Amino acid sequence: MTNESPATDRDNLRRGPTAWAGGATHVGTKAPPNQDALVVAATPGESHRSAIVAVSDGVSTSPHSDVASQIAVDVATDHLTSVLTKPHHSDEPSALADDLKAAVVAANDAIVAAAGDDVHGYACTLVLALVHRGLVVVANLGDSRAYWFGDDATNMLLTTDDSMAQLSIELGTSREVAEAGRQAHAITKWLGPNAPSLEPQLAGFKVAGSGWLLVCSDGLWNYASAPAELRAVWDSLPAAPDATAETLAGQLIDWANARGGRDNITVGLVRVEEPDTPAPEQSPAGSTQS
């Protein structure tokens, strides 16, 4: 897979390894540094598309969270790329899920090594999405998210947050009320030396129709959390039919900044085409459809 050079200035960074896979990150209206980090890697060309998107959001109370988030996306992507390119690698969904889990552990190990004795200074979320041979598989810890916007108007939130807001939702509170609470963004899982658990939330489905995979930090979904709400934003983008993934990601960031940009904003996008032989649609575990 191809990936662009490591990030140097993350305050306003665009990523576009291919026209159909790309992304962007922006500091928003907050003072630097940007605690979000992004990597997009993709196979060159148009045939046999595979892509990896990694988004990490540094925990604001950790002074070196910008370092942790960059380590997380770099190491997770490198680990997953090396595994996928090994001879005789299994493309079964369960094997790919295990690959993502191993990438999460590798990322955490690297953060712990960088932290040394500083057990509280390095912490971040991670969402890691893989598009490979007609499958979409996602792993996440924290509250960075992945959505699916199908050309057939299907809208899905693929990830399940590890947050106090999500716990409230599971107890019956409406999403709108839960996500407006004072502790809504307090996360219950993260990467770092004091991580309580490295078991990610997993979701996956076999692609049955074309669409877009959107991976983002809460700097975007803060302004449109529900799948239908974010899809309405997506449909309103002033994009040309041949707009690249990088361009579309930049437009979503502009939209969030126009609404205040109160947090760092990161968006990764992959255009997923319908396979030659359509497979039965499967609902991802923990997904929400509207």
Structure confidence by residue, pLDDT tens digits, 198-225: 999 999 999 999 999 999 999 999 999 9
Does residue 99 form part of some domain? yes
Report whether 127 contacts 148 (CB < 8 A): no
Residue 283 has pLDDT above 60, yes or no: no
- Total domains in the chain come to 1
Does residue 28 form part of some domain? yes
* Average of per-residue pLDDT across 118-140: 97
* Average of per-residue pLDDT across 42-51: 80
Structural domain span for residue 76: 2-160+188-270
Does residue 172 form part of some domain? no
Residue 3: the pLDDT is: 67
What is the pLDDT confidence band of residue 289, given thresholds at 50, 70 and 90? very low
Does residue 276 form part of some domain? no
Q: 277 vs 28, which has greater pLDDT?
A: 28
Is the pTM above the cut of 0.85?
A: yes
Q: What is the CATH number of the domain that holds 120?
A: 3.60.40.10
What is the pLDDT confidence band of residue 47, given thresholds at 50, 70 and 90? low
Residue 278 has pLDDT above 70, yes or no: no
Q: What is the pLDDT of residues 92-103, one digit of tens each?
A: 999 999 999 999
Does residue 180 form part of some domain? no
Does residue 133 form part of some domain? yes
Residue 46: the pLDDT is: 65
